[in-house]
Amino acid sequence: MYNTEFIRHDINGVIFMTSAILDAQGVCHAFSTRHGGVSQGAQASLNLDHKKDSVENVRQNHLRLAWAVGYAPEATVSTHQIHSDIIRLAQAADAGQHLDGPTPYECDALITNQTGRPLIAYAADCIPILICALNQQGKPCAVAAVHAGWRGTQADIAAKTVQRLQQEYQIEPARCLAAIGPGIGGCCFSTHADVPLAMHKAFGSEVERFIRKDPKAEKPGKFLVNLKAINAWRLLKTGLPNDNIAISPECTCCRPEKYWSHRFTKGERGGQAAVISL
């Protein structure tokens, strides 16, 4: 069984979650919630997404989250996500750009082995994944932040990120820890046949165990797809031990009072962040 222990933190009203398996290694990380920021309306309150909010609100929210979690916002590298399998090595020149608007480059995963270089990926139903690699002495030596929507999941971005860590830093997949954060669950991600067909094309018949017919669909031809489970399975296939993978049990669509859900709000929403740093 995967680890499902995620811990709730409330630091002066900034509420975020951490994974027990990353906490055990002393890894600075967080999965943010809606709570603790300055934004108003549909983006209330800890919105970290620039799409429908003012730059100043988003900047203040990022500063609040960074202060609560304990990382340097001006050193942080962010993603401009396009539902791809693009993996970027975080650059010093990228740092802090998220405070002034979307970043000028596009990617859906970031990696680094630099200490004090926090990485951020965003989500509001898509699956955020934080990865930490350990060296032979069992100490954290590299990290990654991954955004896996259904297209990124089909493109195998989580497994490819582990492989990129291995390529860049000579890291063994068996020494990687992965925390799959709050995102839409197999209970709520109802799709037409195109998503199951895409998953089957990418991964073969084995993926069918994570897909089932939607019993609540008004018309036939709808399916429930468990993106968290597919990503966990792909990480296993890449070489992570079962005990090194954590899955948040929380579904963003089921918990709209705590998280933003693109599906629940029909797009009128803010965005969460997943952050990790050596």
Give the pLDDT of residue 219. 81
At 274, which amino acid appears?
Answer: A
DSSP result, 119-175: EEEEESSSEEEEEEEE-TTS-EEEEEEEEE-HHHHHTTHHHHHHHHHHHHH---GGG
Residue 168: which CATH number? 3.60.140.10
Q: Is residue 252 part of a domain?
A: yes
How far apart (Å, rounded) are the C-alpha atoms in residues 278 and 257?
31
Predicted local distance difference test score (pLDDT) of residue 76 = 98
Residue of 194, 219, 246, 243 lying closest to 7 (CA atoms): 246
Per-residue confidence (pLDDT) for residue 217, from 0 to 100: 86
Residue 203 lies in a domain: no
Please provide residue 79's backbone torsions phi and psi, each rounded to the nearest 5 degrees: -105, 150
Give the model's pLDDT for residue 110.
Answer: 98
* Overall number of domains in the chain: 1
Q: Given this model, what pLDDT does residue 220 score?
A: 86
In a domain, 144, yes or no: yes
DSSP state of 86: -
Structural domain includes residue 219: no
**pLDDT for position 266:** 94
Residue 138 belongs to some domain of the structure? yes
Helix (H, G, I), strand (E, B) or coil at 126: coil
Distance CA 110, CA 80 (A): 10
Provide the domain limits for residue 37: 6-189+226-277
* 207 in any annotated domain: no
* Tens digits of residue pLDDT in 81-116: 999 999 999 999 999 999 999 899 999 999 999 999
Low-confidence ranges of the chain (pLDDT < 50): none
**Enclosing H/E stretch for 224:** strand 223-225
Residue 170 forms part of a structural domain? yes
Q: Which amino acid is at 108?
A: D
